[in-house]
Amino acid sequence: MALNVLDATVGELRAGLLEGRLTSEHIVSEYFSQIERHNINGLGVRALISTAPRESVLTQARALDAERKEKGPRGPFHGIPILIKASSMGMATTFGSAALIDAMATENAAVVDLILDAGMILLGKTSISEFNNYKATPPNTGGWSSAGNQGQSPYVVGGVSANATFLGHSTPCGSSSGSAIGVAAGFAPIALGAETDGSIVQPCSRAGLYALKPTPGTVSVANVLAGTTFDAVGPMARTAKDVADMVGLLMGEDFTGVLKGSWQGIKVGIVQYEPWAPAPFVVEPVDEFTTQVKDEMRQAAEKIRKMGGAVVEDVTLSPFWEYADFMTSRGIDADSFWGDYSHSRYGLRDVFDALMTKFETAKVRTLAEMIQYHRTHADTCLPAGHSSQAGLESLLEEKVNPKFEEIIKEMREEARARIDGALDKFGVDVILSQSDGRMASLAAAAGYAVSALPLGYANFNGRAWGVNAVAGARGEAKMLELMSVWEATFPDARQSPPQLRETSNPAL
């Protein structure tokens, strides 16, 4: 029985397993076939840096099939395949660097152990913007790494353009690029990414998926190349239910009850477009696309009203550049501040060096050795167009600011005041912005959760786009509630990539 790997959801696969129409062994085989067709071959999306050994995975799948038959399922993810970002320990772990190809960790990330205990089947480690997009200054194009080459959006014909800005319209964004590409390309029904500032929600918006970055501190980042102040591990999937179930597993909470599929009790605010438009050096402006986004956002607001929802348009929420001005007024260089703090720069060198003690085999053991390896193997690690590792080099000279905690506290208070103030002023539960903006940055500064919801596809190049949402402190439940009714209101917002439809299995 062939699977429609481009559209199958965790819920559909679970139903097929429980009803005996499917086995995990068969499901895994279908996904491996799709990976073989289009990861390096075919469309060459390069979503995966490493794939789990097929025979050992099939053996695991057969064991889980037998366990389900004998004892029943462990839970909603029993026998379901998953992909995970290459910044998490487990299997071959590269953090995107060719220096760590074939490096094997002796410990898993805590989230890897969690999903394996839930009966999930890890198919592979996904490509990332190398070193969580902190390797180069200015950053490399989203989705590029020396270990995985350039990840490609399955929606954009021709792939990343030669003159693309680092998060340009033809890129898949990053840094959790491969996780989003992998689900969109039918390599698995769900994946995990990790985010400091947009690394889950922006790639998902380019892949037509639903996603949620939980509140930092609510999901373990043990054995993940991440900090604890801003970072979180979160899911990306095709439905609100699949995201909610995974967020529940990661956080140890049950969010099933919030998936009401109704606009009753939800009031949505939409920020003004211009203040939240991306900077030209981040995403190159395309007038046609800007007009399309504005028009379709207005149409979305009108449809929500027709479905019984309440919408406030043109919500005034201080955009990120005004927030940066606030930091400057406190005597802090806003640009270096965001690099230093939001990207968890302080302590990142120590996190990396500590993780490297947990590798059985590796060509390098410290950040300094990795930097030198890159220089020695520049043809692979620092090729033309990607020749900078200035971000990594700056870490070697890092001196922790003694006012770190004080600055973080002030930053949090200001960011929260701005978000909470807008929620209160306009009487809304959730604030939305177009997905190329910096809503994820403001959410990161506040220490709030942020989510991604799909909405449309660019007329000029086919790229997916959507909205990012923030709902204040511990806003996971409200955003998942919104996600469920959004899915019901905009059923065509998530579509499989047209380029892959003819070469992927047609029926579930």
**Which residue numbers are catalytic?**
85, 175, 199
Contact at 8 Å (CB) between 4 and 31? no
Nearest CA-CA partner of 192 in 170, 209, 173: 209
SS3 147: coil
Cis omega (within 30 of 0) on the bond before 76? Answer: no
* Bridge partners of residue 190, in order along the sequence: 237
- CA pair distance 329, 143, nearest whole angstrom: 34
Strand partners, 456: 465
E strands along 39-87, which residues? 48-51, 81-85
**199 and 206 in contact (C-beta within 8 Å)?**
no
Q: Which residues touch 93 (CB under 8 Å, ≥6 apart)?
A: 86, 100, 103, 104, 105, 125, 359
Alpha carbon 105 to its chain's center: 23
DSSP string, 229-260: SS-EEEEEESSHHHHHHHHHHHHT---GGG--
Cα separation, 241 vs 263, in Å, equals 16
- Note whether 444 and 185 are within 8 A (CB): no
Place of tokens 């890129």: 171
Q: Give the burial string for 330-368 (b: 16+ CB within 10 Å, else e).
A: eebebeebbebbbbbbbbbbebbeebbeebeebbbeebe
Q: Report the run of H or E that residue 454 belongs to, with start and end.
A: strand 450-457
- CB of 83 closer than 8 Å to CB of 123: yes
- In this structure, how many other beta carbons lie within 10 angstroms of the beta carbon of residue 3? 25
Query: DSSP E strands: which ranges in 238-350?
Result: 267-271, 310-315
The C-alpha R_g of the chain, in whole angstroms, comes to: 21
Could you give the angle at the alpha carbon of 243 between the alpha carbons of 278 and 218, nearest 5°? 80
201 in Cβ contact with 451 (< 8 Å): yes
